Amino acid sequence: MSRDSSLTNDELLQVATEAYLYLYPMVLMENTRRNATNVPRDTKPGRAPMGVINHVREYPELDFKAVVRPNFDTLYSSAWMDVSKEPWLFHIPAMPGRFFMLPLYDMWTDVFASPGSRTHGEGALTIALCEPEWRGTLPVGVQRIDVPTSTVWTIGRTETRGAADYETVRALQDEMWLRPLSSWQSDDFVIDDAVKPEWKVKMPPMVQTDTMEADVFFALAAELVATHKPHASDWGQVTRMARAGFVVGQPFDLTMQPEDVQEAFRAAPGLARKEIGRRFATLVPFVNGWSTILETMGTWGNSYLRRCMMAMFGLGANPPEESLYPNAMTDSAGQPLDGTAHYSVHFAADGLPPVGAFWSLTVYDHKGFPVPNEINRAALGDRDDLSFNDDGSLTLYVGPTPPADRPEGNWIPSPPQNFAMTLRLYLPQEQVMTGRWKPPITTRLS
């Protein structure tokens, strides 16, 4: 289909920019999948072939750089699955008294189901991931979940109460299994772990996606969207893209398009980033210096700009009912957090994070990575031995040296330059979801 001649050049540019924002999360997901699965079995934590659970067995070291904003609260169990040929079964053991979640992502980055302690409770569960058209018989007791796209990603998180808890959590991880329906009673099935040389790229998936030439980006997007169909509510966006010549289900060779279409689609990546920068403050509300997205998190609907922004910020957002991660790069006065200064992070007695599971505060450098320090500490939370003030309030301290005349157990060392903080709230309660609870006040002390 050729471009609609009734579109003005400005309209064409707008549609091309919308197309980039709409398609970016799926292209990033595919690059992430290739990076994570293009390895033989028994590879280092964080990577495994399709159809294999990859368990992270301990908290990351403070020089960890594989992903931004790693957490120090849970151990991950991740996997990529292709259910186009048959259903795949995922077994979760019973986890009494322990938070667990297994968010399931389609290729558009939407969470379409989230088994775990919040949803199915503490008992064991076996789920079958099936294409909607699949007709067959599942084993007794297995719960069917239909998938929006044939490729599915999951990042399971198991509550971990410090290094002393590793042995218990590892035993729970070992009870998890992932198998195709045809071999669901044993591990006797073939895994394709042949490494594809053309997929080997020496850069993180986000950098790879961000630096793609427009013709490569949109060609891959066309290939992906032909396999992983748009959601039903995307009809308007799909129709607008078709008017610019990008038709779902058809290849898209930008070099073969009219010159004005080529110019528009090549300009789209830069314009999309400018649009995100321009709209950031309205998309992400700030309270006391903390930014929190409550609406549409994890299930984006037609909020394509917000979906793209969150994919860029940190792929794999959870539904807010499971967890929320307020982020701060400034103090409560709006000034950037300076690693050479000292700060207090103060929770009023009636302002401690209201959660059904647990909470933590983690400090990162300005790029989102933890930084090694003399006490090997990047996070504190309600499972630590914290010292409360006489009035029941809680003050945590962040700075280059321990706070004078303050409990050192409440201190997180700061990186030497500008830094950022992330609050993690697991099973946030109603007052968080409605915005009635306010994040803590961060005050510069020196």
Q: Is residue 63 part of a domain?
A: yes
Interval 218-239: pLDDT, tens: 999 999 999 999 999 999 999 9
The residues, any chain, with a CB within 8 Å of residue 166's CB and separated by 6 or more, are: 57, 58, 75, 160
| Integer Cα distance of 20 and 237 in angstroms | 11
CA-CA-CA-CA torsion sign (162, 167, 168, 170): positive
Tell me, yes or no, whether 297 and 436 share the same domain. Answer: yes
Residue 267 pLDDT grade (very low, low, confident, very high; cuts 50, 70, 90): very high
Question: Collapsing DSSP states into helix, strand and coil, what is residue 257?
Answer: coil
Termini Cα distance of the chain: 63
Residues 187 and 318 in one domain: no
Give residue 2's pLDDT: 77
Residues 147 and 238 in one domain: no
- For residues 188 and 49, membership in a common domain is answered with yes
CATH number at residue 267: 1.10.3360
Please say which residue of 194, 215, 235 terminates a domain. 194
Task: Examine the domain organization and report whether 185 and 228 are in the same domain.
Answer: no
Average pLDDT across the chain, whole number: 94
- CA atoms 98, 75, 365, 420: torsion sign: negative
Categorize the per-residue pLDDT at 1 as very low, low, confident or very high, splitting at 50, 70 and 90.
low
Same-domain status, 157 and 220: no
> Among 194, 215, 239, where does a domain finish?
194
Return the higher-pLDDT residue of 293 and 218: 218
At 201, the pLDDT band (50, 70, 90 cuts) reads confident
Residues 148 and 252 in one domain: no
- Could you write out the DSSP letters of every residue in 429-445? -HHHHTT-S-PPEEEE-
User: Among 178, 194, 210, where does a domain finish?
Assistant: 194
Tokens 């709230």 belong to 425
- The pLDDT of residue 125: 98
Please check whether residue 275 lies inside any domain of the structure: yes
d(CA 197, CA 204): 16
Answer whether residue 424 is part of any domain.
yes
Contacts of 73 (CB under 8 A, 6+ apart): 157, 159, 160, 358, 360, 379, 381, 424, 426
> 73 with 379: CB under 8 angstroms?
yes
pLDDT at 320: 92
337 and 243 part of one domain? no
Which domain, by its residues, includes 371? 290-444
**pLDDT score of 92:** 98
- Residue 279 shares a structural domain with residue 294: no
Residue 4 lies in a domain: no
Residue 180 within a domain: yes
Residues 345 and 298 placed together within one structural domain of the fold: yes
Asked if pLDDT for residue 315 goes beyond 90, the answer is no
pLDDT in tens, 176-187: 999 999 999 998
| Cα 216 to Cα 234: distance, rounded to the nearest angstrom | 23
pLDDT tens digits along 83-125 = 999 999 999 999 999 999 999 999 999 999 999 999 999 999 9
Whether the pLDDT of residue 161 is over 90: the answer is yes
Give me the half-sphere count of Cα atoms (radius 13 Å) on the Cβ side of residue 221.
30
53 lies in a domain? yes
pLDDT at 445: 95
**Can you tell me the distance from the alpha carbon of 208 to that of 146, in angstroms, rounded to the nearest whole number?**
31
Per-residue tokens: 101: 């979640």
Report the domain count for the chain: 3
Residue 169 predicted with pLDDT over 90: yes
What is the reported pLDDT for 355?
A: 98
Radius of gyration of the chain measured on its C-alpha atoms: 23
Please give the average per-residue pLDDT across 293-305, as a whole number: 84
- pLDDT, residue 280, reads 79
CA distance 420 to 230: 35
Q: What percent of the chain clears pLDDT 70, i.e. is strictly above it?
A: 99
336-357 pLDDT, tens digit per residue, is: 999 999 999 999 999 999 999 9
Residue 79 within any structural domain of the chain: yes
Taking residues 390-414, report their average pLDDT: 96
pLDDT (mean) for 403-409: 93
- At residue 292, the pLDDT reads 84
Mean predicted confidence (pLDDT) in 378-398: 97
Q: Give 27-85 pLDDT, tens digit per residue.
A: 999 999 999 999 988 776 778 999 999 999 999 999 987 777 889 999 999 999 999 99
- The dihedral sign for the CA sequence 54, 60, 66, 70: positive
Cα 420 from chain centre: 18
Q: Within this chain, do residues 248 and 322 fall inside the same structural domain, yes or no? A: no
**What separation in angstroms does the CA of 124 have from each of 77, 95, 265, 357?**
16, 7, 49, 19
One domain for residues 225 and 333: no
pTM (2 d.p.): 0.93
Asked if the model's pLDDT at residue 255 lies above 90, the reply is: yes
In this structure, what CATH number is given to the domain that contains residue 172?
A: 2.60.40.1610
| 127 belongs to a structural domain | yes
Which helix H or strand E contains 209, and what residues bound it? Answer: helix 205-210
What CATH number has the domain bearing residue 342? 2.60.120.600
Query: What is the rounded distance in angstroms from the CA atom of residue 15 to the CA atom of residue 248?
Result: 14
Q: Kindly state the average pLDDT of the residues 296-320.
A: 88
